[in-house]
Amino acid sequence: MDKVVHFEVPFDDGERATTFYREAFGWNLDSMPQYRYTMVTTTETDGQGRPSEPGGINGGMLHRQGPITAPVITIGVADLDEALARVEQLGGKVAIGRQPVGGAGFSAYFHDTEGNLIGLWQSA
């Protein structure tokens, strides 16, 4: 069973959004300007940055653009290409194909049969 491993929240004003989430919920936010992305830590993590609490999920924030216009959940999969093929066989549509993310892994986005944008993640 593949599980939700990440979330993303788009913003129009990065400073305003990060200030809001930091002050409203106490989240730790780490800007990564080289990726135009902000990592969001909502729960304690282990030495590799993964949530150490069962059920905990961390995420990210990015500028609202392209298909990413609303919050997105991301599902971890063992094989990204197989997952994208399965999505398409079941009536979903690839929105952004396989992309490397540093040396950490690969991401992709698809629209499900209801039009929702969902992310996929495969660790390196």
Q: How many domains does the chain have?
A: 1
State in Å, rounded, how far the first CA of the chain is from the last one.
19
Q: What is the pLDDT of residue 54?
A: 87
Q: How far is Cα 30 from Cα 27, in angstroms, rounded to an integer?
A: 10
Q: What is the pLDDT of residue 79?
A: 97
Residue 53, SS3 per DSSP: coil
Mean pLDDT of the chain: 94
Q: The domain spanning residue 65 has which CATH number?
A: 3.10.180.10
Q: How far is Cα 53 from Cα 44, in angstroms, rounded to an integer?
A: 7
pLDDT in tens, 38-91: 999 999 988 888 898 888 999 999 999 999 999 999 999 999 999 999 999 999
**Token duo for residue 115:** 């039009």
Q: What is the pLDDT of residue 102?
A: 87
Q: Which domain holds residue 47?
A: 4-123
Q: How far is Cα 29 from Cα 71, in angstroms, rounded to an integer?
A: 17
Contact 73, 118 (CB under 8 A): yes
